[in-house]
Amino acid sequence: MIERLGFVENQYEELTMRISDPSVIADTENWQKLVKEHSDLQHIVEEYREYKRVKEELDDNLEMLESENDQEMREMFNDDIRKLRPEMEQIERNLELLLLPKDPNDNKNVFVEVRAGAGGDEAALFAHSLFRMYSKYAENQNWGVEIMSMNSTDIGGLKEVVFMIKGDGAYSRLKYESGVHRVQRVPDTENSGRVHTSTVTVAVLPEVDDVDIDISPNDIRVDVYRSSGNGGQSVNTTDSAVRITHLETGVVVSCQDEKSQHKNKDKAMKILKSRLFDLAEEERSKGISDERKSQVGTGDRSERIRTYNFPQGRITDHRINTTIHKMDTFLDGDIEEMISALANFDQTEKLKALGNRKIGKGA
């Protein structure tokens, strides 16, 4: 690890000189790319330099302790050593995490797809609650939210909604939300007070750049129709709604939120690209299924990941066996505690996998 960190530091210093070179600055596109690389390495280098500082101080104290006979001085050196060792261990752990392979999608914007599952109107109402929860979380992070398509019910629920969350690191935080969310509560229409169980599915897809995936016009069928509101009521007198079908995979994307057919088609194509990219990633990952099973955020979309139990006021994530008792604030967008727990678990599992591979090579 130390050898690799030395290489990273040299790379960082070289980039520092290059991004200050007027001839490099003149090439704006290349300069921006180098600045991004420099920024990505900065945190690692700062932590590595802190590691070297603490290690030098620890080594100095150990060396002086070895040659010192005065008891009072020895005790002083021992005190410093006792403080420095846990500090160094923490820095080493930080460096291990920083050197883990990065998900190339982590800094991307995301499409979030929320769909009512089993449970009829109650599922649709909870789908609306989850849409609001993610929108509030995005607001707390100073991220933008743009609705791509929405299919409402006449009682205020959502059959499905697709929306984009725009913000640096959006995918890195929200990728753990994909899966089946189960709600247990007494519906307002239930006179006997019986608890109902309903489900909502959530899919989180990174926004895909044009260079990531290419779709030929021959690969799709585009249909246009009049957009409709609740219960199929027509809300537009022109054929502005767009449905795109990818012929090879059968993936269908519809968008009707904009009054312009062109804008709806543009939104639908963005969603289609992300879905196709996600399918390609799933196929690629079949060869490393064991590693996928040890990680959260990349699981099967049909997997039940979380239960929202209203009578007990608890939210339980089944992947990490973590329960939070703050239903109201959680559904109001205060989900960072759960997301951080999932991210920490994911990092720990990746470190274990890395350690196992090292042991295997050593054997």
pLDDT tens-place string over residues 283-296: 665 654 444 444 45
For residue 208, what pLDDT is reported? 83
Averaged over 215-244, what is the pLDDT? 72
Here the tokens at position 168 are 């640096």
What percent of the chain stands above pLDDT 70?
Answer: 87
Closest by Cα among 259, 258, 255 to 237: 259
Answer for the pair 272, 280: CB distance below 8 angstroms, yes or no. Answer: no
Answer for the pair 29, 124: CB distance below 8 angstroms, yes or no. Answer: no
pTM for the model stands at: 0.69
Each residue's pLDDT tens digit, 18-70: 999 999 999 998 998 899 889 888 989 999 999 999 999 999 999 999 988 88
Q: Are strands 179-185 and 304-309 parallel, antiparallel or unpaired?
A: parallel
For the residues of 176-189, what is the DSSP string, one character each? GG-EEEEEEE--TT
